[in-house]
Amino acid sequence: MHPMLNIAVRAARNAGKILLRAGEDLSKVEVQQKGANDLVTNIDKEAEAVIRDTILQSYPTHSIVGEELGEHKGKDADYQWIVDPIDGTTNFIKGIPHYAISIALKVKGRLDQAVIYDPIRGELFTASKGQGAQLNSKRLRVSKTTVLAGTVLATGFPFKNKHHMDAYTEAFKALFVHTADIRRAGCSALDMAYVAAGRVDGFFEIGLKPWHSAAGELLVKEAGGMVVDFAGGNNYNHSGNIICGAPKLTQAIIREIRPVLSESLLR
């Protein structure tokens, strides 16, 4: 295992212990609203602090961007860690056992290492650039499906971008008529990890932030998949609008939804 991936795994496991311990008594979890339909807990912050401390103990000059604690500017800007301490906070708060810790590392602006850790199931998804993707050390590959017929897709509702609800609904309808089913589980990191593992065939969502998708992006690509924006380009880090899956299936998703999307979602 790459030394920096090893540290990411250690950080994710340390945070996972905090989440599991807190999940035993959710009545003690402090919940705040940081924006419209956007919740944060004291556990998010505690877990992110542990992740940050674990990384900086080994790499004190690196930079870190986290969902809850913001940016730590290290002396070496070539190395930037991207952290989501609980992807699926609402699930966590409600006691729904489906959430994950997401950690990615960019080296000179390019994704290099990725970890998505599901502490409930003990599933550790990892990827190193050029070395493939693994689940608990077993090699992952995306689904071989090339057409929408019979597929199971994953998605996330635009609960923070409800002004896009009409366009999203039309995109959902355009895909749903062709698929076997579409899942909405409330954790985009695991949605993308499941694409990498071939558990779902593809995924699409509006308005993700880099800490939601960075680790999943590398996992999908290293598992042989494609990650694009709604226009089929590479602007997803800016727009947050993401489609991923096996290359031919991803193209099929784009063909179905492009005609029904608003102009703003195709930028």
Look up the CATH number of the domain holding residue 109: 3.30.540.10
- In terms of domains, do 135 and 9 share one? yes
Over range 48-53, report the average pLDDT.
Answer: 97
Residue 98 in this model has a pLDDT that exceeds 70: yes
Residue 51 inside a domain? The answer is yes
Question: What's the mean per-residue pLDDT of the chain?
Answer: 95
Contacts of residue 6, Cβ cutoff 8 Å, sequence gap at least 6: none
In a domain, 166, yes or no: yes
Say if residue 115 is in the same domain as residue 175. Answer: no
27-44 pLDDT tens trace: 999 999 887 767 888 999
Confidence of residue 210 (pLDDT cuts 50, 70, 90): very high
Are 21 and 104 members of one domain? yes
End of a domain among 115, 139, 163? Answer: 139
pLDDT at residue number 263: 81
**147 inside domain:** no
181 shares its domain with 133:
no
Same-domain check for residues 75 and 195 = no
Q: What is the pLDDT of residue 264?
A: 85
Tell me: pLDDT of 257 over 80: yes
Which of 110, 139, 168 is the endpoint of a domain? 139
Annotated binding-site residue? 84: yes
Q: Does residue 11 sit in the same domain as residue 71?
A: yes
Query: What share of the chain has pLDDT > 90, as a percent?
Result: 91
Is 90 exceeded by the pLDDT of residue 266?
A: no
From 99, 114, 139, give the residue that closes a domain.
139
**Tens digit of each residue's pLDDT (9 = 90 or more) over 148-203:** 999 999 999 998 888 899 999 999 999 999 999 999 999 999 999 999 999 999 99
Residues 90 and 213 in one domain: no
**DSSP-assigned letter for residue 164:** G
What confidence score (pLDDT) does residue 215 get?
98
Task: Please report the pLDDT score of residue 134 as a whole number.
Answer: 98
> How far is residue 255's CA from residue 140's CA, in Å, rounded to a whole number?
27
Same domain, 115 and 194: no
Q: Are residues 125 and 159 in the same domain?
A: no
Query: Is 123 a domain residue?
Result: yes
Q: Please check whether residue 189 is in contact with residue 116, taking contact to mean a CB–CB distance below 8 angstroms.
A: yes
Task: Kindly state whether residue 233 falls inside one of the protein's structural domains.
Answer: yes
Q: Binding residue per annotation — 93?
A: no
CB distance 89 to 99 below 8 Å: yes
pTM: predicted TM-score of the whole model, two decimal places: 0.96
Same structural domain, 134 and 93? yes
Q: Is 222 annotated as a binding residue?
A: no
- Residue 161 maps to which CATH number? 3.40.190.80
Within a domain: residue 144? no
Mean pLDDT of 50-66: 97
Residues 6+ apart with CB under 8 A from 204: 153, 155, 171, 175, 230, 242, 243, 244, 253, 257
**Is there a single domain that holds both residue 130 and residue 157?**
no
Task: Report the domain count for the chain.
Answer: 2
At residue 147, the pLDDT reads 97
Range of the domain at 39: 3-139
Mean pLDDT, range 226-254, rounded to an integer: 96
- Average the pLDDT over each of 25-34, 54-63, 115-124 and give the range with the smallest value: 25-34
**Are both 101 and 209 inside the same structural domain?**
no
Q: For residue 146, tell me if it sits in a domain.
A: no
Specify if 145 maps to a domain: no
In this model, does residue 51 exceed pLDDT 80?
yes
Q: Are 91 and 186 in contact (CB under 8 A)?
A: yes
Q: Is 116 annotated as a binding residue?
A: no
